[in-house]
Amino acid sequence: MNIILHDLQNHLRFSPLTLTRPVGNLRTGMFTNDERWRFYCPEATVSYQTEEYLAEKFPIVKTKDNFWVNAAVIPTPSLVEKIRALKSEQSLFVEDVFVAYRGEDFTPTKVKSEESDAFIVLQNRWDLFQKNDVVLEADFKAYTEGKVSEPLSPTNTLIGDKKNLFIEKGAVVECAILNVTTGPIYIGKNAEIMEGSAVRGGLAMAENSALKLLTKVYGATSLGPYSKVGGEVSNVIFQGYSNKGHDGFLGNSLIGEWCNLGADTNCSNLKNNYGKVRTYDYEKQEEVETDLQFMGVAMGDFSKTSINTMLNTATVIGVSATIFCAEFPPKYVPEFSWGGLSNSPTFDFEKAIEAANNMMVRRGLTLTTSDEKILRYLFQKR
Burial per residue of 287-320, b for 16 or more beta-carbon CB atoms within 10 angstroms, e otherwise: eeeeebebbbbbbbbbbbbbeebbbbbbbbbbbb
Largest CA distance in the chain: 59
Q: Phi and psi at residue 138, in whole multiples of 5°? A: -65, -40
3-state secondary structure string, 273-319?
CCCCCEEEECCCCEEEECCCCECCCEECCCCEECCCCEECCCCEECC
3-class SS of residue 101 = strand
Q: What is the pLDDT of residue 174?
A: 98
- Domains in the chain, start-ordered, CATH in brackets? 2-123 (3.90.550), 135-381 (2.160.10.10)
Tens of pLDDT along 145-191?
999 999 999 999 999 999 999 999 999 999 999 999 999 999 999 99
Tens of pLDDT along 185-219?
999 999 999 999 999 999 999 999 999 999 999 98
Q: How far apart are CA 135 and CA 121, in angstroms?
A: 10
Q: How many residues does the chain have?
A: 382
Q: What is the pLDDT of residue 156?
A: 98
| Whether the Cβ atoms of residue 216 and residue 197 lie closer than 8 Å to each other | yes
Residue 326 CB: number of other CB atoms within 10 A?
A: 9
Cis before 16? omega within 30 = yes
Q: How far apart are CA 344 and CA 333, in angstroms?
A: 10
